[in-house]
Amino acid sequence: MNNKRNFFMAPVFLMIILACVVPGLPTASTPLPTLTADTGAIETLVAGTVSAAIAQTQQSIPGPSPVVVIVTASADSTPTPTVASSPTPTYTVTPTFTATPTQNPSQSALTRHEDGSVLFRDDLADYKIKLPLGWLALRINEKEFLDAFSLEEAANTHVQQSLLGIQNEDPNILRLFVFDPSHIQNDFVTDMRFVFDRGGRISLTTDADLQSIAAKIPNSAAVFRFEVTSVKMGTSTSGVDFGVIEARSSFTSAAGADVGLYQKQVFFNVPLGTQSITFTTVADLKEILLPAFDAMLETVTLIEEEE
């Protein structure tokens, strides 16, 4: 690859052209807001916008599973592929019940370590990243996604709506959906979406591509009209270049309260395209949850460069 990618770790970040899903299924007695966007159309728009931005600026920019394998590992042992023996997802360490890995159609893996941390490796986009503790990570059509509906957290109607809202997404585009079950506020589930745009690479030598994407954001979502607050570029301590778009929006909750939203979208180039990670939460939780998101970004490793 041509340049090492970098990360900009300041209290600035992410807006995605993805509309966030605000779970809120209506009931007969207390109607909740209908805030679920057509995420399939929006995910496609994200990738299309990146490609379009590159095409518009290229002349002016300088520069050149039947079995879900979850591996339990420790610092002094060889990781051993395991599968859960229960129909519920395994979000705790299960050092027993081994199985032989089979072909992995998702071309990715979630590896759980003894300290509770989870490493996501995407062999389609060719990078890996360590996910925040306590968040639940799901790949569409994989076992952990199907099992999520039987989790205790899924009794919450807003979590149910988040899961139903992504079930028909293309798993080759929406590579991973991560949500925080411990921070559901004002009918909103805080989440992260990992979107891969195969074939489109964003310029990070200038902010022209980022500005082009940002210009389309206000009219891109089916539910929320986001206002872009910042467009920046930076570098991680490991040398990964990235671009960041921050934005804000708001909605009226079922209780009639005006709820602010914060969204931060981070882009970085991978060997076969562009990867974006979008973090969306209510504004009141920004200061609590953003540090974990920023710390996660510092763990991005490009597999091609590592190997």
Is the Cβ–Cβ distance between 238 and 301 less than 8 Å? yes
Task: Determine the pLDDT at residue 96.
Answer: 34
CA distance 267 to 278: 9
Task: Determine the pLDDT at residue 115.
Answer: 83
Residue whose structure tokens are 């671009």: 243
Which candidate, 118, 98, 97, places its Cα nearest to that of 108? 118
All domains in the chain, ordered by first residue = 39-306 (3.40.1000.10)
Task: Determine the pLDDT at residue 255.
Answer: 85
Which candidate, 228, 225, 196, 223, places its Cα nearest to that of 212? 228
Q: Cα torsion for 17, 22, 130, 105, to the nearest 10°?
A: -80
Output the tens digit of pLDDT for each of the chain's 307 residues: 443 333 333 333 333 333 344 443 333 333 333 333 443 443 444 455 455 544 554 444 444 433 334 444 444 444 444 444 444 444 443 333 333 344 567 899 999 988 888 999 999 999 999 999 999 999 998 999 988 888 888 888 888 888 988 999 999 999 999 999 888 888 899 999 999 999 888 999 999 999 999 999 988 766 778 999 999 999 998 899 999 999 999 998 888 889 999 999 999 999 999 999 999 999 999 999 999 999 999 999 998 765 5
Task: Determine the pLDDT at residue 141.
Answer: 84
Distances (CA, A) of 292 to 135, 166, 279, 302: 10, 23, 11, 20
Which candidate, 110, 117, 181, places its Cα nearest to that of 144? 110
Strand, coil or helix: what is 285?
helix
CA distance 267 to 130: 17
Task: Determine the pLDDT at residue 199.
Answer: 86
CB-based contacts of 255, cutoff 8 Å, min separation 6: 186
CA distance 55 to 233: 19
Residue type, 66: P
Is the Cβ–Cβ distance between 267 and 210 less than 8 Å? yes
Tokens of 28: 């007969």
Tokens of 119: 């490493």
Task: Determine the pLDDT at residue 283.
Answer: 96
Is the Cβ–Cβ distance between 234 and 298 less than 8 Å? no
Q: What are phi and psi of 274, to 5 degrees?
A: -125, 135
Residue whose structure tokens are 């989440």: 191
- Buried/exposed code over 209-225 (b: 16+ C-beta within 10 A; e: otherwise): bbebbbeebeebbebbe
